[in-house]
């Protein structure tokens, strides 16, 4: 029963106009802004991961240096991976709630069935 | 045989089977079987995703590695957290928006469906079955060490419980077993950490200095090198855990169980927070076991270090032979057992989706097989489970589990990750690119594992590929093959959907699968 409902969503008559959404200004902004954050955050998390591994692999003496009793540079670098992960996660969730959700809604409004006919010729490839 | 532990194990299996009976009454349609009717909330799904990665390998393996080799053990949890950020940023919402039941739904959306689906399903099944055998061998060995039950009955009992969850309770039972396990494991981890911290007087520095003082290596225990692993080995293992984990099919299909992309996002956030706390606790437990346990414990912990956490529980509970020690060990052991049960159930479910939804309904029946999809999925789950149990029994308790986990993560990193990422983000990615990327990542992983020191028949020294895990090579090869395959083929668009449509769908959720409850 549910799978039939699922299927029907794919049918042309029920499908909202994705071309209109794609051409809309809020959608362009959504893709650009979310893409910018995702690229920067991915680079940050992978970069810090690389720094950790390089220090461990190439400078093990530095990694073994004690900062405070019992805590080595390497251990703290490992711990900082968690801090980076938590901060980026928190930032992405806040941005999604404050910026991206609004843009998503605006982009979807641009594809609402009412404007379907008017926009079919305004599509850029 | 240990009575208290067997009773704890039996209680746990009883509770999970009760959950399965409850779930089976709510599981009829394909959407209910594969995706729990899209009824799971953000925090519940976050617990389940974190639970998938709170496996015996992380709870017992990571703590054991830290007990044995100190800093080198700590590298593992520190790199695995990276996978959760990648899942949130790259996959969580896109999976929910663009797919229905399987990873192949998303990967094949705008490509030629049948070949891409078949290749993705093959990679999913390979990852699931290898990981499944690794977990089942681990389960047999662990249960034998903890209760005295033999390997063969231990594997068969674990396998039967796993099959019951999936075949009768589908994703709903699989998810709730995982949630119950995750909560129990967080409680066990918290209790063990608290015990350690009380023991060292809540002095964080004292925990590590005492641990180093108790270890034969002294201060070197807190520096790299304790495991004797080379730099390339560390790099390869780190890539497997950071990238491979992010592309494990049984983790990614959890995003289909929530009502919408917003919930998918929040569940990935919950998972990052929970697994982070859990990993920090594994450090307190692993280093704590070294600081707290008497030197004689070293022999009981074993070469793999897997029994460090249960032994720590016994010591903190009052010592061997005391009621408190016995009870606390029984609790921690039962939770470790629950961990394996919950993880293997998720693996069987992901493989049954690949067989029923991808291969049967969409490749063989060309999309006309939806009516019987759930039945085929239940049969496939039973078949895959029986095959995995048979392989496990044939392989026996001496089988090298670490290499199986390495192979599964490497296939996920080399075959799944590049193709999935490029299908969603790179406009010029083609069917040929996907097929060549998936097969190159898969073949490279398998060939390099055979040529590696732990498998090569000529002995570790003469092995042609001297690195433990294939990921360091398989991941770049996967990306390269995707890229070359796409450049060499002229296909611009899939027959039905374009990149633009996938982009709209994955970014906004337009046209995505709705919750059954809405209608």
For the segment B101-109, the average pLDDT, to the nearest whole number, is: 91
d(CA B318, CA B327): 10
> A64 and B219: CB-CB below 8 Å?
yes
For the segment B117-134, the average pLDDT, to the nearest whole number, is: 93
Give the best residue of A89, A109, A119 to mutate against chain B (max B CB count within 10 A).
A89
Of B60 and B482, more confident: B482
Interface A-B, measured as beta-carbon pairs within 8 A, has a size of: 181
pLDDT at A113: 64
**Residue B352 domain flag:** yes
What CATH number is associated with residue B195? 1.20.1730.10
Q: Which of A22, A71, A84 sits opposite B503 (nearest CB)?
A: A22
Strand A71-72 and strand A66-68: the pairing is antiparallel
What residues in B contact A26, CB-CB < 8 Å? none
**CA distance readout (Å), B515 to A2, A5, A107, B203, B262:** 9, 10, 21, 49, 13
Q: Which of B235, B501, B513 sits opposite A53 (nearest CB)?
A: B235
pLDDT at B497: 77
What residues in B contact A31, CB-CB < 8 Å? 503, 507
Share of chain B above pLDDT 70, in %: 97
For the segment B44-69, the average pLDDT, to the nearest whole number, is: 91
pLDDT at B305: 82
Identify the top-confidence range among A37-51, B132-146, B384-398: A37-51
Examine the pLDDT at B178 and tell me if it is beyond 60: yes
Examine the pLDDT at B102 and tell me if it is beyond 70: yes
pLDDT digits (tens, 9 = 90+) for B302-353: 777 888 999 999 999 988 888 899 899 889 989 988 998 999 999 999 999 9
Identify the top-confidence range among A10-24, B215-229, B259-273: B259-273
Q: Which of A15, A88, A107 sits opposite B85 (nearest CB)?
A: A88
For B290-339, the DSSP string reads HHHS-TTHHHHH-SS-TTHHHHHHHHHTT-TTSHHHHHHHHHHHHHHHHH
Of B166 and B498, more confident: B166
pLDDT at B493: 52
> B71 and A63: CB-CB below 8 Å?
yes
User: In Å, how far is B434's CA from the nearest CA of chain A?
Assistant: 22
Q: Is B396 left (phi over 0), alpha (psi -120 to 50) or beta?
A: left
List B69's β-bridge partners, or say none: none
Please tell me what DSSP assigns to residue B27. -
Number of domains in chain B: 1
What residues in B contact A108, CB-CB < 8 Å? 508-510
**Residue B448 domain flag:** no
**Residue B477 domain flag:** no
**Residue B415 domain flag:** no
For the segment B287-296, the average pLDDT, to the nearest whole number, is: 92
> A27 and B208: CB-CB below 8 Å?
no
Which positions ≥6 away from A37 have C-beta within 8 Å? A91, A92, A95
pLDDT digits (tens, 9 = 90+) for A28-38: 999 999 999 99
d(CA B414, CA A122): 41
pLDDT, chain B, mean: 90
Give the number of other CB atoms < 10 A from CB of residue B266.
21
A47-56, B93-102, B245-254, B276-285: least confident range: B93-102
pLDDT digits (tens, 9 = 90+) for A36-69: 999 999 999 999 999 999 999 999 999 999 998 8
Give the best residue of B510, B515, B519 to mutate against chain A (max A CB count within 10 A).
B510
pLDDT at B452: 86
Q: Which residue of A has its CA nearest to B38?
A: A2
Q: Which residue of B has its CA nearest to A27?
A: B504
> A52 and B273: CB-CB below 8 Å?
no
Confidence class of residue B515 from pLDDT cuts 50, 70 and 90?
A: low
**Residue B68 domain flag:** yes
Q: Does A113 reach chain B within 8 Å, measured CB to CB?
A: no
Examine the pLDDT at A117 and tell me if it is beyond 60: no
Give the best residue of A53, A69, A99 to mutate against chain B (max B CB count within 10 A).
A53
pLDDT digits (tens, 9 = 90+) for B188-210: 999 999 999 999 999 989 999 99
Please tell me what DSSP assigns to residue B495. S
For A69-97, the DSSP string reads TTEEHHHHHHHHHHHHHHHHHHHHHHHII
pLDDT at B466: 85
pLDDT at A15: 57
Residues of the domain holding B165? 3-398
Nearest Cα to B293, choosing from B204, B221, B192? B192
Examine the pLDDT at A10 and tell me if it is beyond 70: no
> A71 and B509: CB-CB below 8 Å?
no
pLDDT digits (tens, 9 = 90+) for B211-238: 999 999 998 999 998 888 888 989 999 9
User: In Å, how far is B449's CA from the nearest CA of chain A?
Assistant: 23
Q: Does A114 reach chain B within 8 Å, measured CB to CB?
A: no
**Secondary structure of B396-439 as H, E, C letters:** CCCCCHHHHHHHHHHHHHHHHHHHHHHHHHCCCCCHHHHHHHHH
Confidence class of residue B498 from pLDDT cuts 50, 70 and 90?
A: confident
What residues in A contact B276, CB-CB < 8 Å? 82, 85-86
For the segment B145-168, the average pLDDT, to the nearest whole number, is: 90
Give the best residue of B38, B224, B291 to mutate against chain A (max A CB count within 10 A).
B224
**Residue B33 domain flag:** yes
pLDDT digits (tens, 9 = 90+) for B431-472: 999 999 999 999 999 999 889 887 888 888 888 888 888 999
Name the packing angle between helices A25-58 and B499-508 (round to 10°): 80
Confidence class of residue B19 from pLDDT cuts 50, 70 and 90?
A: very high
Examine the pLDDT at B370 and tell me if it is beyond 80: no
Examine the pLDDT at B362 and tell me if it is beyond 80: yes
**Residue B484 domain flag:** no
Q: Does A75 reach chain B within 8 Å, measured CB to CB?
A: yes
**CA distance readout (Å), B227 to B74, B219, B222, B223, B236:** 11, 14, 12, 10, 15
Examine the pLDDT at B425 and tell me if it is beyond 60: yes
- As separate numbers, helices (DSSP H) first and strands (DSSP E) second, chain B gives 23, 0
**Residue B116 domain flag:** yes
Q: Which of B222, B231, B501 sits opposite A72 (nearest CB)?
A: B222
Q: Which of B504, B509, B514 sits opposite A27 (nearest CB)?
A: B504
> B79 and A34: CB-CB below 8 Å?
no
pLDDT digits (tens, 9 = 90+) for A76-101: 999 999 999 999 999 999 999 999 99
Examine the pLDDT at A119 and tell me if it is beyond 70: no
Q: If you search the block for the tokens 């608290």, which residue do you land on?
A: B194
Examine the pLDDT at B176 and tell me if it is beyond 90: yes
């Amino acid at each position: 029963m549910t799978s039939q409902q699922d299927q029907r969503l794919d049918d042309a008559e029920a499908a909202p106009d994705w071309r209109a959404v794609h051409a809309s200004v809020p959608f362009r902004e959504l893709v650009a802004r979310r893409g910018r954050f995702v690229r920067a955050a991915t680079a940050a998390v992978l970069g810090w991961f690389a720094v950790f591994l390089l220090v461990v692999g190439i400078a093990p003496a530095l990694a073994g240096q004690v900062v405070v009793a019992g805590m080595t540079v390497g251990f703290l670098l490992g711990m900082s991976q968690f801090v980076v992960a938590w901060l980026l996660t928190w930032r992405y969730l806040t941005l999604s709630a404050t910026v991206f959700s609004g843009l998503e809604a605006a982009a979807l409004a641009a594809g609402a069935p009412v404007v379907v006919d008017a926009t079919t010729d305004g599509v850029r490839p | 045989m240990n009575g208290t532990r067997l009773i704890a194990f039996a209680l746990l299996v009883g509770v999970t089977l009760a959950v399965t009976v409850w779930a089976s009454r709510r599981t009829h349609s394909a959407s209910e079987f594969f995706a729990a009717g899209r009824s799971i909330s953000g925090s519940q799904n976050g617990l389940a995703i974190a639970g998938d990665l709170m496996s015996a390998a992380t709870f017992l393996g990571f703590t054991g590695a830290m007990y044995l080799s100190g800093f080198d053990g700590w590298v593992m949890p520190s790199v695995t957290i990276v996978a959760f950020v990648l899942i949130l940023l790259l996959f969580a919402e896109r999976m929910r928006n663009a797919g229905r039941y399987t990873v192949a739904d998303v990967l094949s959306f705008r490509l030629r469906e049948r070949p891409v689906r078949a290749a993705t399903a093959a990679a999913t099944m390979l990852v699931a079955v290898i990981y499944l055998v690794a977990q089942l061998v681990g389960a047999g060995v662990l249960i034998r060490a903890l209760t005295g039950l033999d390997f063969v009955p231990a594997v068969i009992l674990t396998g039967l419980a796993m099959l019951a969850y999936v075949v009768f309770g589908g994703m709903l039972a699989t998810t709730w077993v995982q949630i119950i396990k995750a909560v129990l494991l967080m409680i066990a981890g918290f209790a063990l950490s608290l015990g350690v911290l009380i023991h060292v007087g809540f002095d964080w520095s004292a925990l590590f200095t005492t641990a180093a003082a108790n270890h034969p290596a002294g201060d070197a225990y807190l520096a790299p090198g304790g495991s004797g692993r080379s730099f390339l080995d560390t790099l390869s293992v780190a890539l497997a855990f950071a990238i491979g984990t992010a592309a494990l099919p049984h983790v990614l299909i959890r995003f289909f169980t929530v009502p919408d992309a917003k919930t998918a996002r929040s569940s990935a956030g919950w998972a990052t927070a929970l697994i982070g706390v859990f990993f920090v606790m594994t450090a307190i437990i692993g280093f704590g076991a070294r600081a707290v346990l008497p030197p004689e414990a070293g022999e009981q912990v074993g070469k793999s270090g897997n029994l460090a956490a249960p032994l720590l529980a016994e010591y903190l509970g009052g010592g061997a032979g005391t009621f408190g020690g016995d009870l606390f060990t029984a609790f921690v052991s039962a939770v470790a057992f629950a961990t394996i049960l919950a993880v293997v159930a998720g693996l069987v479910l992901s493989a049954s989706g690949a067989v029923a939804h991808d291969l049967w309904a969409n490749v063989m029946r060309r999309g006309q097989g939806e009516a019987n999809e759930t039945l085929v999925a239940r049969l496939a789950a039973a078949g895959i489970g029986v095959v995995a149990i048979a392989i496990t029994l044939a392989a026996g308790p001496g089988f090298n589990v670490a290499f199986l986990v390495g192979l599964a993560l490497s296939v996920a990193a080399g075959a799944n990750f590049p193709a999935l990422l490029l299908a969603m983000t790179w406009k010029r990615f083609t069917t040929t690119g996907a097929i060549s990327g998936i097969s190159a990542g898969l073949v490279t992983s398998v060939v390099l594992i055979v040529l590696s020191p732990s498998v090569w028949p000529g002995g570790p020294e003469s092995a042609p590929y001297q690195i433990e895990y294939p990921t360091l090579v398989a991941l770049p090869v996967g990306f390269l093959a995707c890229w070359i395959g796409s450049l060499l083929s002229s296909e611009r668009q899939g027959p039905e959907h374009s990149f633009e449509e996938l982009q709209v769908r994955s970014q906004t959720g337009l046209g995505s699968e709705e919750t059954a409850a809405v209608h």
